[in-house]
C-alpha cells in the first residue's frame, strides 16, 4: 500500500510548526522527501546485495521478459524503470527457467570468447549444461544488457529480475493568503509500504535542516494516527 504524499506533507508541516515554529514550501518538502526515499531505496538494494534478503520486495522487485533475436547482436535495452539487477534466467520453450550469471564486463568478454567453457543455453528441460551469461553497461546512449550466447536463428527468451526505481512523489496544492490547501486529486504518492513512513519523514526533516529524535517521530505519528481515526469516525 502506498504512502500518501498528503499525509507526509501534513506530518512534516505539523512537526515544523510544533517544534520549530517554521514554514517550508511544498516544493522544498517534495525535494527533501524524494531525496529521503532514494536514500532508503539505496539502502534496500545494498541490504539485498549483502544478505540476499528482500525488504519491500513486492513493491520494487520486477520481472521483464527479453526476447533476443540474431539481429540484436546479443544486446537489448533495459526496461525504462530499471535501477539495479538482481539476476536473470533463460526460459526454454516449456517455460522452464535456468539461472544465468551476471558478470563484470571484462569477465564477460573472457567467458563469451572462451573455447574451454563457453556460455550455453538449454535446448530441453533435461539439459544440465545451462549457463548463459550477461553483462550490463552504458553504450554511450543508454544502459543496455548483453547476453551470451546469442541465437543464430529463431530467438532466445531471457527473464531479467531487477529493482525498479521509486517514482518521484509530488504534492499538488493551492495557496491563498499563505494557507496551503491540498488538491483533492492528482498527487503522486510514495510507492512504499507504510512501515517506511518514519524513515522517510525523519530523513526528509534532516535534509530540510530540522532533525527530530526518534521519540518525537513516534509521538507525532501517534497523533497523526489518532487524528485519522477520529476523522474516519465522523
> What's the whole-model pTM score?
0.77
Copy the grid coordinates of residue 6: 498528503
Provide the domain limits for residue 180.
5-51+168-225
The number of folded domains in the chain is 2
Task: Give tens-digit pLDDT for 83-107.
Answer: 999 999 999 888 989 899 999 999 9
Q: Does position 228 have pLDDT exceeding 70, yes or no? A: no
pLDDT at 123: 61
Asked, for residue 231, whether it belongs to a domain, the answer is no
Clarify whether residues 184 and 149 are in a common domain.
Answer: no
Angle CA(16)–CA(202)–CA(59) in degrees, nearest 5? 130
Clarify whether residues 46 and 30 are in a common domain.
Answer: yes
Mean pLDDT of 14-22: 91
Asked, for residue 93, whether it belongs to a domain, the answer is yes
CB atoms within 10 A of CB 63: 12
Clarify whether residues 173 and 155 are in a common domain.
Answer: no
Angle CA(20)–CA(24)–CA(30) in degrees, nearest 5? 125
pLDDT at 213: 66
Clarify whether residues 91 and 153 are in a common domain.
Answer: yes
Clarify whether residues 174 and 210 are in a common domain.
Answer: yes
pLDDT at 118: 86
Dihedral sign from CA coordinates of 44, 163, 94, 69 = negative
Clarify whether residues 41 and 123 are in a common domain.
Answer: no
pLDDT at 58: 65
**Using the 8-state DSSP alphabet, how is residue 25 labeled?**
-
Clarify whether residues 128 and 194 are in a common domain.
Answer: no
Clarify whether residues 151 and 104 are in a common domain.
Answer: yes
Percent of the chain topping pLDDT 90: 66
Residue finishing a domain among 164, 192, 213: 164
Task: Give tens-digit pLDDT for 126-135.
Answer: 555 558 999 9
Clarify whether residues 87 and 18 are in a common domain.
Answer: no
Strands 133-138, 101-102: pairing kind: parallel
Asked, for residue 92, whether it belongs to a domain, the answer is yes
Clarify whether residues 65 and 123 are in a common domain.
Answer: yes
Amino acid at each position: 500500500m502506498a504512502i500518501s504524499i498528503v499525509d507526509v506533507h501534513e506530518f512534516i508541516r505539523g512537526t515544523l510548526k510544533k517544534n520549530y515554529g517554521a514554514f517550508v514550501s511544498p516544493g522544498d518538502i517534495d525535494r527533501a522527501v524524494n531525496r529521503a526515499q532514494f536514500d532508503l531505496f539505496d539502502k534496500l538494494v545494498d541490504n539485498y546485495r549483502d544478505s540476499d534478503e528482500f525488504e519491500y520486495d513486492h513493491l520494487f522487485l520486477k520481472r521483464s521478459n527479453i526476447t533476443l533475436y540474431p539481429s540484436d547482436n546479443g544486446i537489448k535495452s533495459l526496461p525504462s524503470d530499471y535501477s539495479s539487477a538482481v539476476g536473470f534466467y533463460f526460459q526454454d520453450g516449456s517455460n522452464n527457467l535456468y539461472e544465468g550469471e551476471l558478470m563484470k564486463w571484462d569477465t564477460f568478454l573472457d567467458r563469451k570468447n572462451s573455447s574451454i567453457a563457453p556460455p550455453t543455453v538449454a535446448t530441453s528441460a533435461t539439459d544440465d549444461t545451462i549457463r548463459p551469461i550477461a553483462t550490463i553497461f552504458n553504450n554511450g546512449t543508454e544502459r543496455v544488457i548483453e547476453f551470451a550466447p546469442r541465437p543464430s536463428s529463431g530467438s532466445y527468451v531471457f527473464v531479467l529480475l531487477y529493482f525498479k526505481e521509486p517514482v518521484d512523489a509530488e504534492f499538488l496544492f493551492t495557496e491563498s493568503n499563505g494557507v496551503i490547501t491540498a488538491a483533492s486529486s492528482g498527487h503522486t504518492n510514495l510507492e512504499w509500504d507504510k512501515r517506511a513512513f518514519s524513515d522517510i519523514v525523519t530523513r526528509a526533516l534532516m535534509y530540510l535542516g530540522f532533525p527530530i529524535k526518534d521519540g518525537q517521530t513516534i509521538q507525532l505519528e501517534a497523533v497523526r494516527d489518532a487524528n485519522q481515526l477520529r476523522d474516519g469516525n465522523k
